[in-house]
Amino acid sequence: MEIKIASGAPLEKKTPCLILGVFEGKPKTPLLKDLDRHLGGSLSRAFRDKEFSGKQREKLLLHPSSALAAERILLIGLGKEKGAGAERIRQALGAATGFLQERSLSNFAVDLASLAVRNLTLEALTQHVVEAILLAGYRFLRYRTENPDELPVALSKLAILVAKKNQVKEAGHGATIAQAICRGVYLARDLVNEPGNAKSPDFLARQARSIADETGMKCTILEKPDLEKEQMGALLGVAQGSIREPRLIILEYHGDNNHSRPIALVGKGVVFDAGGISLKPAEKMDEMKMDMAGGAAVLGTLLSAALLSLPVNLVGIIPAVENMPSGSAIRPGDILTSKAGKTIEIINTDAEGRLILADALSYAKRFDPRVVIDLATLTGACIIALGHHATAILGNHEGLIRQLLKAGEQSGERLWQLPLWDDYATQLKSEVADLKNVGGRPAGTITAAAFLQKFAGDFTWAHLDIAGTAWEDKGRPYIPKGASGTGVRLLVQYLR
Ligand code: BES
Ligand code: MN
Ligand code: ZN
């Protein structure tokens, strides 16, 4: 999509559609009064007859005929002005974009002044507006070869309107930031939406390599013999049921010339999770192509960080495997020796994510990271606990958790903390090995994190369980059905 920033009076802008924000109960701003006059009073009649009152996500499409430069005007409700913030803006612009896209309108203009909310700079406001539009306009259409007229139109042109010439630059910055972030989210969504047959661990590795080539990052790919040399018995154990060989993907971004210790981002990369010998039921098994969403978020975050030239050092680590049942698969009762030397009794082969992450966390030690954050679609229990509205966060450092919670609020990718008291670890005790890979039904998300904690050692570490947030069933204003790309916006905000 081509994005331009323009200054001047919004009602003089020639465009197929002009989007104006309206707060609930505020129908008489100077701009709306002016518009009403041009429309011969039809706007005040619409307010009077309660056709439109500015409630959140409410829409009114006007056709001003020749009265104005714009061919159409879309009023979008922002809700009550009190308490409005970044998320309200994203919701509104997401809803507006969906509405216009359904009507095959792909070229529109947005008046920023009508969207101004307290405590948001013009740069931030522009960022949220552009972000919401780009994210709402995303579709995964690679495999739709028939009836092109039934497909949603791709966004073509966006004009961002500011009042004064000297605001163009600041708004331009906001738009550039949004575009860099959305490239990372698009990448993550594309990878997660890609079907399992198209995405082997090697496919993910090649994707990482091409991002590295584009941005000048260092990319290291470990193949099976390398993983054997590294003694990654837990990762290799999960991988041994699939004919597609595992990879460990390592991306390094150097944005800080002072050689500061890096932040390590570790993402679960199970390209398909059938459950292994502890096979999953058929219902919704197709969705388990999304089990590499943590890895996708790590790739997306590194891409965005590089595009934004963020002044930090990062290392992304993605253990990539497929979890399949077969004659060569691991069995319940097997004992694996992890890279850290700890032995693990396999109770359920479907608790595979923690196994590959354990070895990836051990691998991270060589980078001497100052912070380690892992992301994983780790437990169904997380969906039971928090539904689809929050990512679970657990960790061993309250300061890091607080920073991430704040980044969650700011980015709209919200987190909720669960406790990680020592008491939970007793559920992982094994008779025959150092620990077992399942802690029973109670507190499944917490015992999974407690398992990871044993491999996080003395890292400053946080774990994000994105099982409930990585995949969108119904479609939201700026998250279409399918992969959400969750984690990218959160982590870029944290890093910024
Ligand atoms: N990838 C799944 C978790 C998952 C479930 C993610 C639903 C997204 C939606 C994970 O590998 C898994 O199977 N976890 C098991 C663990 C159990 C065997 C202890 C689960 O949650 O059932
Ligand atoms: Mn599983
Ligand atoms: Zn899994």
Q: Is 126 inside any structural domain?
A: yes
Residue 96 pLDDT > 80, yes or no? yes
What would the DSSP string read from start to end of 211-231? HHHHHT-EEEEE-HHHHHHTT
Which ligand is nearest to the Cα of residue 348, counting in written order? 1
What would the DSSP string read from start to end of 192-210? HHS-GGG--HHHHHHHHHH
Residue 209 pLDDT > 90, yes or no? yes
Measured in Å, residue 317 CA sits from the centre of ligand 2 at: 20
Give the residue from 203, 218, 208, 296 showing the smallest Cα distance to 254. 218
Q: What is the pLDDT of residue 53?
A: 95
- Whether residue 374 has its Cβ less than 6 Å from ligand 1: no
Dist CA 184 CA 222 (whole Å): 24
Same domain, 245 and 289: yes
Measured in Å, residue 397 CA sits from the centre of ligand 1 at: 25
Dist CA 344 CA 346 (whole Å): 6
Q: Is 168 inside any structural domain?
A: no
Q: Is 216 inside any structural domain?
A: yes
Instruction: Look at strands 73-77 and 107-111 and give their pairing.
Output: unpaired
Residue 285 pLDDT > 80, yes or no? yes
Measured in Å, residue 427 CA sits from the centre of ligand 1 at: 17
Same domain, 143 and 62: yes
Dist CA 290 CA 214 (whole Å): 25
- Whether residue 285 has its Cβ less than 6 Å from ligand 1: no
Dist CA 301 CA 293 (whole Å): 12
Q: pLDDT for 448-479, tens place per residue?
A: 999 999 999 999 999 999 999 999 999 999 99
Split at pLDDT 50, 70, 90, the class of 137 is very high
* Strand-pair partners of 374: 266, 463
Q: Is 84 inside any structural domain?
A: yes
- Whether residue 444 has its Cβ less than 6 Å from ligand 1: yes
Dist CA 330 CA 308 (whole Å): 43
Residues of the chain with pLDDT > 90: what percent?
97
Give the residue, by CA position, lying nearest to ligand 1 atom 17: 351
Which CATH number is 391's domain given?
3.40.630.10
Same domain, 266 and 117: no
Same domain, 122 and 234: no
**How far is C-alpha 280 from the geometric centre of its chain's CA atoms?**
26
What's the average model confidence in pLDDT over 191-210?
Answer: 98
What's the average model confidence in pLDDT over 338-351?
Answer: 98
Domain count, the chain: 2
Instruction: Look at strands 343-345 and 313-323 and give their pairing.
Output: unpaired
What's the average model confidence in pLDDT over 413-431?
Answer: 98
Q: What is the pLDDT of residue 67?
A: 76
Same domain, 156 and 196: no
Same domain, 349 and 404: yes
Ligand 1 nearest atom to the CA of residue 323, by list position? 11
Q: Is 411 inside any structural domain?
A: yes
Q: Is 178 inside any structural domain?
A: no
Ligand 1 nearest atom to the CA of residue 353, by list position? 11
Which ligand is nearest to the Cα of residue 321, counting in written order? 3
Q: Is 210 inside any structural domain?
A: yes
E strand map for 325-389: 335-337, 343-345, 371-376
Q: Which two tokens stand for residue 482?
A: 């399918």
Q: Is 173 inside any structural domain?
A: no
- Cβ burial of 78 (10 Å; 0-12, 13-18, 19+) is buried
Pocket test for ligand 1, best of 272, 350, 451, 486 (most atoms within 8 A of CB): 350
Positions annotated as catalytic residues are: 280, 354
Same domain, 224 and 337: yes
Average model confidence (pLDDT) across the chain: 97
Spatial CB neighbours of 365, under 8 Å, sequence gap ≥ 6: 457
Among 162, 195, 212, identify where a domain stops: 162
Same domain, 304 and 438: yes
**Torsion, CA 176, CA 181, CA 184, CA 188, rounded to 10:** -140
Same domain, 201 and 137: no
Element (H, E) at 394: strand 391-395
Overall pTM > 0.95 = yes
- Whether 330 and 281 have beta carbons less than 8 Å apart is answered as no
Which CATH number is 82's domain given?
3.40.220.10
Element (H, E) at 269: strand 269-273
Measured in Å, residue 226 CA sits from the centre of ligand 2 at: 25
- Whether residue 352 has its Cβ less than 6 Å from ligand 1: yes
- Whether residue 332 has its Cβ less than 6 Å from ligand 1: no
For residue 14, the enclosing domain spans 2-162
- Whether 320 and 292 have beta carbons less than 8 Å apart is answered as yes
Same domain, 236 and 104: no
Split at pLDDT 50, 70, 90, the class of 149 is confident
Same domain, 195 and 89: no
- Whether residue 304 has its Cβ less than 6 Å from ligand 1: no
Measured in Å, residue 282 CA sits from the centre of ligand 3 at: 15
Pocket test for ligand 1, best of 283, 285, 379, 452 (most atoms within 8 A of CB): 379
Q: What is the pLDDT of residue 328?
A: 98
- Whether 376 and 297 have beta carbons less than 8 Å apart is answered as no
Dist CA 358 CA 319 (whole Å): 10
Give me the helices (H) in 103-200, please.
122-136, 168-193
Rg (CA), the chain: 24
Q: What is the pLDDT of residue 148?
A: 87
Q: Which two tokens stand for residue 185?
A: 């989210």
Measured in Å, residue 438 CA sits from the centre of ligand 1 at: 11
Q: What is the pLDDT of residue 57?
A: 87
Q: What is the pLDDT of residue 65?
A: 77
Same domain, 130 and 215: no
- Whether residue 269 has its Cβ less than 6 Å from ligand 1: no
Ligand 1 nearest atom to the CA of residue 275, by list position? 13
Among 162, 192, 209, identify where a domain stops: 162
- Whether residue 46 has its Cβ less than 6 Å from ligand 1: no
| 62-71, 338-347, 414-423: segment of lowest average pLDDT | 62-71
